[in-house]
Amino acid sequence: MSPLLSVEDVSFTHIVENGWFQRPRKFVLSPVTFELNAGETMAIIGENGSGKSILAKLLVGAETPTSGAIYLNGQKLKYNNIKQRCLNIRMVFQHSNESLNPGITLGTILDEPLKLNTQLSPEERQEKVEQTLRLVGMLPEHQYFYRHMLSDGQKQRIAIARALILNPQIIVADEPFAALDPSVRSQTVNLIMKLQRDLGLGFIFISHNLGIVRHISDRILVMQEGNVVESGKTDVIFNWPKSEYTEKLVQSHQAMLSKN
């Protein structure tokens, strides 16, 4: 059986304007290859600017790779078929605050992707909005709320709801926990793990929080300066890191832990 997602030699090149390095610099993402099964979680770790967010954007089709191919259930994704992509691989953005339109109700925010991508009738869409709100632990009443009426944790839930509403098979999230406080963070982590168990969702996320990475991921991709320096099972990466860079990351984390 083919894996849920299979990424083969996907690469990307573009020019970055970067003040610190004075001159514009070429950013090259070297070919990336990995597979993800249904219900599995993969974490992408590495320093800022190493290409983590670019990779996430390539997966959801927000950027077009220079070379390589992405297969969903064994079927090659075509770059001009944005619709197929949108339905199956959805992104939760880093700052849910900025990505939620403040001027419209949450119900409308959730309804938009349905209107654009499905043939559902208004009643069916309404039903789907309420069902998705419940799925992420919110109430049907919340469809009449605006962004400013929500707490950070609730905003994150809405961002996840918006990603879920088209019944995707994979969710890609860029730093989904970074802006959250400890208790809300745990709630969100629990929500995602539950959705994976219930729906078999594949989950790919970028994070600096190695505690959470270790707890919820099955697999890790370590990136540095546009290269995947290492990838493998979470346990293996933490216990037997191969590259010097991964070892440094793991050690920084362990050092903080061991002082306790």
The contact set with another protein (CB under 8 A) reads 19-20, 46-49, 151-154, 175, 178, 181-187, 189-190, 193-194, 208, 210-212, 214-216, 234, 248-249, 252-253, 255-257, 259-260
Q: How far is the CB of 216 from another protein (least distance, A)?
A: 6
- Rounded Cα distance between 104 and 148, Å, is 11
- Closer Cβ to another protein, 167 or 190, answer by number: 190
Q: Pick between residue 113 and residue 194 the one whose CB is nearest to another protein.
A: 194
Side chain identity at 160, as an amino acid letter? I
- Quick check: helix, strand or coil at residue 221? strand
Q: Name residue 6's beta-bridge partners.
A: 35, 71
CB of 246 to another protein, least distance (A): 11
Shortest spacing between CB 73 and another protein, in angstroms: 24
- State whether the Cα torsion 112-135-178-246 is positive or negative: negative
CB 87 → another protein: shortest distance, Å? 27
What is the three-state SS of 121-139? Answer: CHHHHHHHHHHHHHHCCCC
Smallest distance, Å, CB 235 to another protein? 8
123 vs 259, beta carbon nearer another protein? 259
Contact 237, 251 (CB under 8 A): no
Q: Choose between 45 and 59: whose C-beta lies nearer to another protein.
A: 45
Beta bridge partners of 27: 14
Q: CA-CA distance, 150 to 172, in Å (whole number)?
A: 23
Of the pair 132, 156, the CB lying nearest another protein is at: 156
Nearer to another protein by Cβ, of 129 and 180: the residue is: 180
H or E element in which residue 43 lies: strand 41-46
Neighbours of 260 (CB within 10 A): 4
Shortest distance, position 214 Cβ to another protein, whole Å: 7
Please give the structure tokens belonging to residue 218. 């099955």
